[in-house]
């Protein structure tokens, strides 16, 4: 039987589980209503080694493989706050991997090490009002001016955007270059001209802040450019794989917890004289959910194995085969998680539609997985091209 986890992985899993159950779950309702959570939580996670477990020791991590990140993403949903989980995963698997891959020693020291320690909060700045899944359509641009780049434009749907100390941002450096005219920059949020215009009100993930950002003649030192000029889109396509993979891992874990929670509810809830879970129709639906989650998790482990081999064993770029598998997982996980959450809410009846039951929140929060990091439709379009269709 395939078994990627060692005792070290299991110890780390227990650490994350305790963190989620003690530092997040007791406050989940409060943070949900406040639509915010304390930024100090990043520091607590950093002190426990949660943020950098799968990063090399040379950049401030613990030197683990990608299975450590999987364990983290599977345990954080125990905190019952998808918003907090998303904020932490943006820090660890979306805004910082590209720094580990491309960063100079100075960039690592100034941005990555503090992020993995929880001393700085990171955001990833790609989406714009007119360019979401169509990344090549971004219009935020940068022009070279001596030792600086001057940035102008707008970013939106930016998780951690109101609290971030820096944004790993994709902008156009060659307006006529299309997808190949983009470059990555590390943009400190305290630079003159950088402005958070507003905090967006979302359907779900309420505890997580999502911002709209404006840049007006923001002077970014050239030393903050990541990698080569004009290669940003290629770097992003590599970085996207970690974002999509960890989203699928976390989403499937949340679906499994929702089924287990609903099962316990059904054992206590009496309907027409016997527990709801003893009704044959619902037994069949639970069997269906358990089966599909098992199948999806098996496929997820295959995707992680490919990704872990590409990034940690061969120390190379993510192969096109791995990209194909992760894109498939993004679709499968998004559709399955939405279906499971909807079934679990229906199982709760009227109580599933009131806020005091966690399943209502889980149902709302899960909807993002089919959109964020590339919509299901975009994944299908991309897969069709990969398959030569």
Catalytic machinery residues:
243
Q: What Cα–Cα distance (Å) separates residue 363 from each residue in 51, 84, 175, 177?
A: 27, 16, 41, 41
Secondary structure letter of residue 328 according to DSSP: H
Q: Tell me the DSSP string of 191-241.
A: STTEEEEEEPP-SS-TTS-EEEEEEEEEEEEGGGEESSTT-HHHHHHHHHH
CA angle 174, 180, 182 (to 5 degrees): 55
In angstroms, the CA 332 to CA 266 distance is 27
Q: Are 151 and 200 in contact (CB under 8 A)?
A: no
Q: Tell me the DSSP string of 116-156.
A: HHTSS-EEEE--BTTBSS-GGG---EEEEETTEEEEEEEEE
**Partner residues linked to 172 by β-bridges:** 141, 182
Which residue from 150, 155, 179 is spatially nearest to 169, judged by alpha carbons?
155
Cα 179 from chain centroid (whole Å): 23
Instruction: Specify the 3-state DSSP secondary structure of 318.
Output: coil
């Amino acid at each position: 039987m395939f078994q990627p986890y060692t005792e070290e992985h299991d110890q780390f899993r227990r650490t994350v589980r305790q963190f989620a159950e003690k530092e997040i779950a007791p406050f989940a309702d409060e943070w949900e209503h406040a639509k915010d959570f304390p930024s100090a939580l990043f520091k607590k996670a950093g002190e426990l080694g949660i943020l950098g477990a799968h990063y090399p020791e040379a950049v401030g991590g613990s030197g683990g493989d990608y299975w450590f990140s999987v364990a983290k993403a599977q345990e954080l949903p125990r905190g019952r706050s998808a918003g907090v989980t998303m904020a932490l995963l943006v820090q660890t698997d979306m805004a910082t991997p590209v720094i580990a891959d491309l960063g100079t020693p100075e960039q690592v020291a100034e941005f990555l090490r503090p992020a993995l320690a929880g001393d700085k909060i990171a955001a990833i700045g790609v989406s714009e009002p007119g360019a979401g899944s169509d990344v090549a359509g971004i219009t935020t641009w940068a022009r070279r001016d001596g030792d600086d780049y001057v940035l102008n434009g707008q970013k939106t749907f930016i998780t951690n955007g109101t609290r971030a100390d820096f944004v790993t941002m994709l902008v156009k450096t060659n307006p006529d270059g299309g997808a190949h005219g983009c470059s990555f920059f590390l943009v400190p949020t305290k630079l003159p001209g950088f402005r958070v215009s507003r905090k967006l009100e979302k359907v779900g993930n309420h505890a997580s802040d999502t911002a709209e950002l404006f840049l007006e003649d923001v002077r970014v030192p050239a030393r903050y450019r990541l990698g080569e000029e004009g290669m940003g889109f290629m770097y992003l396509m590599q970085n996207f794989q970690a974002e999509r993979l960890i989203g699928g891992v976390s989403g499937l874990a949340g679906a499994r917890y929702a089924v287990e929670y609903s099962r316990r509810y059904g054992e206590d809830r009496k309907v027409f004289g016997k527990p709801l879970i003893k009704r044959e129709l619902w037994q069949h639906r639970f069997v269906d959910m358990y089966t599909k989650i098992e199948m999806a998790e098996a496929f997820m482990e295959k995707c992680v194995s490919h990704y872990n081999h590409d990034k940690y064993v061969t120390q190379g770029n993510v192969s096109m085969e791995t990209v194909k598998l992760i894109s498939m997982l993004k679709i499968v996980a998004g559709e399955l998680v939405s279906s499971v959450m909807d079934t679990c809410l229906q199982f709760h009846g009227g109580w599933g539609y009131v806020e005091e039951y966690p399943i209502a929140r889980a149902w709302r929060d899960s909807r993002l997985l089919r959109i964020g990091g590339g919509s299901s439709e975009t994944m299908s379009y991309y897969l069709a091209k990969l398959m030569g269709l």
